[in-house]
Amino acid sequence: MPSRRQLLKYIAALSAASFSGGMLSQSATARVIAWKNWSGSQSCVPSARLAPASVSELQQLVAESLVPIRPVGAGHSFSPLVPTEGQIVSLARLNGLVSHDPDQLRATFLAGTQMSAMGAPLHEVGQALINMPDIDEQVIAGAIATGTHGTGANIGGLPSFVTGLELVTASGELIQCDADNNAEVFQAARLSLGALGIVTKIQMQNTQPYRSRRESWILDWEDTLAQADQLADQHRNFEFYYIPFSERCFLSTHDITEEDKFSTPVSDGNESVQDLKLIRDYLSWSDTLRGLPIKAIAATMDREVVVEASWLNYASERNVRFNEMEYHLPREQGLAALREVRQVLEQDHKAVFFPLEVRYVKGDDVWLSPFYQRDSMSIAVHRFYEDDYRPFFNAVEPIFRKYGGRPHWGKLNSVTRDEFAQMYPRWNAFVDVRQQLDPNAKFLNPYLASLFSGAT
Ligand SMILES: Cc1cc2nc3c(=O)[nH]c(=O)nc-3n(C[C@H](O)[C@H](O)[C@H](O)COP(=O)(O)OP(=O)(O)OC[C@H]3O[C@@H](n4cnc5c(N)ncnc54)[C@H](O)[C@@H]3O)c2cc1C
């Protein structure tokens, strides 16, 4: 069999299409104090970028600041949560495991800990995170602040695992909160968008270390949709991607296993996305031709299996940059919305090559969680970072909204304050807590002010 690259080159050579153009070069960015997010779509020139070395230094900084302050994690959010002309504060120097409770399987981390640095110390103390997202580059405070989630019909998003928090409020005061102490603050701070204060420590409910068996395979679109709900209920974790113009989906499950570690050969996700881009560049003039190489490659793919410690088996690297919109829909509405999103993509937005990503998340009771009181199906759309994401995202967002979707807080959306207030039964409670903790709006940037300042 030819390799995938050979196959692609062969098909590209057969194509009558002319190459639509090379990569745009990245524009140079100022290096001094400018900030930009992972995809480059959000940026600002703050008055200062600070990384305090201790909680007391942070308290002093917050208490004395005369300009707005925005906490930042790894900068992996797509929505305008961080940009400010005031100060950007990173907790990168406040990281690591602080303490653990072996009886309750809970552990406390400093808020600036990168998720990739949580698995090993947790393993050493006999614990593991209950679930993980696609990547582990986020810091834990940034991840919970936006409701970051993995997949699992019976597993909530990361904020639902939080059992206690410590935060510095606008006055510089240090507050501890959990379900029993400062309970209102706790309910708001479990998912806060960094709009209540700066979280310094996070205690989370964990589980015992486990090995997971990840299986991935290709299946036809209709068969995938027919089986999706059942697979979601049968497996600890289930997700799938629809590959545009191919009639094919890439499915993946995780289950707890006692098996020894092993791995079949596995496909490289970054290389696959680059291949899809190449196919788009050469063949987007013909839907039928475009699907051929994908189907040919899919036909050669064997089922992939990886048995590994859970914390090494969920996340992968995402090297091909993109912008993203993700909505969380009532689970029972998800597949109908997905069909419409696919139709819009393949009819009117043929330049899109990133697969549609579909995940399941259990409902929770976190005030601003998109999973608040409802089991959800999450559908994510992506556009290459150099492409204008707006036409496609503007076209699919009404579909998500029509089916009752709530946007991921860290991803692009156009939802307004009034619309959020309709979506979230505890919206006003959150706004009240925010107002009490930060009456002078020290932690608001223009985007957050558009959501939270003034009357509710
Ligand atoms: C390649 C890629 C893959 C992704 N995969 C997933 C996925 O699988 N699932 C998913 O749900 N999301 C995913 N996301 C989105 C991402 O998880 C969220 O946007 C997350 O919030 C990013 O974390 P961060 O550390 O980069 O935080 P940032 O983006 O830097 O900040 C996010 C928010 O956290 C606040 N914050 C940061 N630190 C603190 C603090 N100490 N105290 C208070 N507030 C704070 C910020 O003010 C901001 O409001 C992905 C994003 C990318 C780029």
pLDDT at 8: 52
| CA-closest candidate to residue 220, choices 276, 297, 295, 290 | 295
| CA-closest candidate to residue 50, choices 112, 99, 98 | 112
pLDDT tens per residue, range 142-171: 999 999 999 999 999 999 999 999 999 999
Q: Confidence band (pLDDT; 50, 70, 90) for 377? A: very high
What percentage of the chain exceeds 70 in pLDDT? 92
10 Å Cβ neighbour count for 147? Answer: 28
Q: Confidence band (pLDDT; 50, 70, 90) for 298? A: confident
Q: How far is the CA of 192 from the centre of ligand 1 (A)?
A: 12
Is there a contact between 264 and 272 (Cβ–Cβ < 8 Å)? no
At CB < 8 A and 24+ separation, what contacts does 22-27 make?
Answer: 23/386, 24/386
**Architecture (CATH level 2) of domain 211-407:** 3-Layer(aba) Sandwich (3.40)
Helix axes 269-283, 4-14, angle to 10 degrees: 10
Residues of the chain with CATH 3.30.465.10: 97-208
Q: How many residues does the chain have?
A: 456
Residue located nearest, by CA, to atom 19 of ligand 1? 77
CA 236 to CA 207: how far, in whole Å?
14
Tell whether the torsion through CA atoms of 318, 323, 329 and 334 is positive or negative: negative
The dihedrals phi and psi of 356, each to the nearest 5 degrees, come to -80, 135
Does the predicted TM-score (pTM) go above 0.95? no
Q: Which fold has domain 97-208?
A: 3.30.465
Q: Confidence band (pLDDT; 50, 70, 90) for 365? A: very high
pLDDT at 301: 87
Residues of the chain with CATH 3.40.462.10: 211-407
10 Å Cβ neighbour count for 264? Answer: 12
Decide: 82 in ligand 1 pocket, CB within 6 A. Answer: yes
Is there a contact between 107 and 138 (Cβ–Cβ < 8 Å)? no
pLDDT at 284: 84
β-pair partners for 36? 43
pLDDT at 128: 98
pLDDT at 183: 98
Residue located nearest, by CA, to atom 49 of ligand 1? 193
Decide: 74 in ligand 1 pocket, CB within 6 A. Answer: yes
How is residue 139 annotated by DSSP?
Answer: B
Q: Using the predicted structure, report yes or no on whether residue 271 has a pLDDT greater than 70.
A: yes
User: For the chain, what is the largest distance between any 2 Cα atoms, rounded to a whole number of angstroms?
Assistant: 68
